[in-house]
Every structure is written in structure tokens, then in C-alpha cells.
Amino acid sequence: MNRVYNFSAGPAMLPTTVIERAQAEMPDWNGSGMSVMEMSHRGSEFMSIAEHAEAALREIMEIPSNYRVLFLQGGATTQFAAVPMNLLRGKDSADYLLTGMWGKKAVAEAGRYCEVNLAADSSAQNFMEIPAPDAWSLDADAAYVHYTPNETIGGVEFHWIPDTGDVPLVADMSSTILSRPVSVERYGVIYAGAQKNVGPAGLTLLVVREDLIGDAIADTPTILNYQVQADSASMFNTPPTYSWYMAGLVFDWVREQGGLRAMAEVNKRKADKLYEAIDESDFYSNPVRPDCRSWMNVPFTVGDGSRDDVFLAAANEAGLLALKGHRLVGGMRASIYNAMPEEGVDALVDFMREFEKNNG
């Protein structure tokens, strides 16, 4: 086996031990004589897998008992619509903090269901920073405040939780969930597509405070109604069973690593090493304001950009894959989620220094 260091933004690396355990359990899960993907989602075997995953997630995220955990489909993108449908609760506007491209998509979708107030907007700064909270225009009567704690494309991350008073805070945590401890009780809703830090694509996690459920707008498709999903334990229809099982293995792995505190320690160290390598060179650069730099996604430019293809080819050769930046911003992007080992970041930093020596 020859596993590469895969810096893809998503679907992303999974821990090798998780892949190996899934491989070992694939043909015959726990003496059932079948693989998890062949099981009825209503059978006792899969029910135990589903319950185990939820219990493990509740434990590592310390999710209070007045929150429901849903295992859904449709990706974070589906939640861009489902959030207003479920959370407007008779109100007609919602606040959005806009700090990047994913937030922009959430805003566009919400605009189909309600009035969107851009309470903060860093588009004029090219999404390189988070506007200071004292300049935000939050509306005390908004149905909720939505933000993107980590903008995956721009590499901009909140290292603190916005204070929205009594207005429920909604977070698209797709690219930062499980990367550090989080005070779930500060949130109304947390949602995340699984394919970055949780497991294979196809699964969407949703953590929602119980009192916010049950007042979806009349035209909400049944499948998107949080009440229906909560009442059916996320089995209103066939859930993404294999991704759910894999997520459970990843939750076990996070717990074995020492939980979210341990993940945060390693993640911060990985990010610090990479930003330090970028900052100490005149060849590489990262445009994000230092206090908003992401621990998970590190975009950077290589010289004047003319040797990007050479950089990528040489990186591939060295077993460092998927470093090409998002098509909207160009350059490079190293996504260094939980499953990227610290050695992978060390190898990237060594490679970058060597490349600069020969090309800088």
C-alpha cells in the first residue's frame, strides 16, 4: 500500500486506520455475513451502527441533550434552502455574515425564501478578512444569524463565536467541524457536509436545538423538514447508510486521538508550520489577514504564478497531491483537515523550501 498525502479540499483524506478497519469489516460486518452497504437500514445491525455513531458524536462534541442530531443527505448546499424553510418561524428576514464564496451561495439560496440582511460583508475586501463585530448591523428581530465559521475557498476562519444575543446562530461548519472543541450551546443549528472532516460524501450532519424544530414553512418538502427527520430518527427514507457507518468509525478515531482538544492542538501546530513557511519566504504568499487565517484550508501563491504547473507536477511526483487552488482564486490550496498527518504538512513544507531554492 502506498498512501499519498492528499491535500484535496473535499472529498478529502480519511485516517488510514479508518480505511483499514472498513476494509477488514467490509465483506462481513461483525458476523452478520454481509457488508454494511447491504444491510436494511431498519434492521437491528444497522440500527446499532447508527446509534453508536450518534452517541460517539454526542460525546466528542459534548452535545447537550436538548439538541437533536440528524444524519441527512443533500450536502451542505441543501441546507442553504432547508435552514430558512425550517427556521423562519413566522419571521420574514434573516441576518447573514458574508465572509466568502460559500456564504455567498447560502445568501443567494436564502433570498428565495426571505429577506436577507447582510449584517457583515467582506466582499469589498475580496473576502480576506472578517469585519469587526462593532461594524455589524445585526437585527434583533431576525429569524436567525447565519455564518460560515471556515470559508473553504478563501481560507478565512472565525477563531471565536459571534455573539447574537437571543437570535439563534446558524453555522455552516462543513470544513471545520471536529477540528477543535465547540460550545454547541451557543448555536441554534450546526450543519456540515461530511466529505471534509467527517467521512465519505453523501452524508450531511445537522445538530439542531429542539425548540427550533416544528415550525417549518408550509411548502417545505417533507424530506427537508427537521421535525419529520427528527421524529423518524433520520430514517424518513433510506439514509446514506455506508457514509453513516464510516462517520461512526471517524468519530471513534477522533476519540482515540484524545478528542477535539487533541485535534485542535495538532491542527493549530500543522497550520502554524505552514503559515510560518509561507511568511518567512518572499516567494510564497497568503493574502488572508493573520487573525482570520484558517487552520483547515491554506491558500497560497507561488512566485508570480508562472511556475504553478511546474510546482504541481513536482509536488505530485513527491506524493503531495491535489494542491491546485480553487478555480475561482487560482494559485495553490493545501487543505489540512484532521486526517492529514503532521508528517504530511512537514513533507509539504520541506518540498516548498526545496522548490523555492531551485525556482525562487
Ligand X SMILES: *Cc1c(COP(=O)(O)O)cnc(C)c1O
Binding residues vs ligand X (CB under 6 A): 10, 75-77, 102, 148, 152, 172, 174-175, 193
Decide whether 204 or 301 has the Cβ nearer to ligand X: 204
Which grid cell is 65? 441533550
Please state the closest distance from residue 104 (CB atom) to ligand X, in A.
10
Which residues are catalytically annotated? 102, 172, 196
As a whole number of angstroms, the distance between CA 51 and CA 68 comes to: 13
What stretches of the chain adopt beta strand conformation (E)? 5-6, 67-72, 93-98, 115-121, 145-147, 150-151, 156-157, 169-172, 189-193, 204-209, 284-285, 297-302, 320-321, 332-335
Query: Closest distance between ligand X and the C-beta of residue 347, in Å?
Result: 24
Comparing CB distances to ligand X, the nearer of 113 and 191 is 191
Quote the cell numbers at residue 68: 437533536
Reference 252, options 40, 85, 55, 96; nearest CA is 55
- Residue 163 near residue 138, CB atoms below 8 Å: no
CB of 76 to ligand X, least distance (A): 4
Is 7 or 311 the residue whose CB approaches ligand X more closely? 7
DSSP string, 277-314: HHHT-SSEE--S-GGGB-SSEEEEEETTSTTHHHHHHH
> Cell numbers at residue 182, please?
465547540
For ligand X, give the closer residue by CB, 172 or 308: 172
What's the min distance (Å) between Cβ of 65 and ligand X? 27
For ligand X, the closer CB: 121 or 172: 172
Q: Kindly tell me the sign of the dihedral angle through the C-alpha atoms of 158, 161, 166, 169.
A: positive
SS3 for 43-88 is CHHHHHHHHHHHHHHHHHHCCCCCEEEEEECCHHHHHHHHHHHHHC
Q: How far is the CB of 176 from ligand X (least distance, A)?
A: 8
The x, y and z cell numbers of residue 173, run together, are 461548519
Question: Closest CB to ligand X among 110 and 352?
Answer: 110
Q: How far is the CB of 173 from ligand X (least distance, A)?
A: 8
Query: Under a CB-based contact definition with an 8 Å cutoff, are residues 172 and 79 in contact?
Result: yes
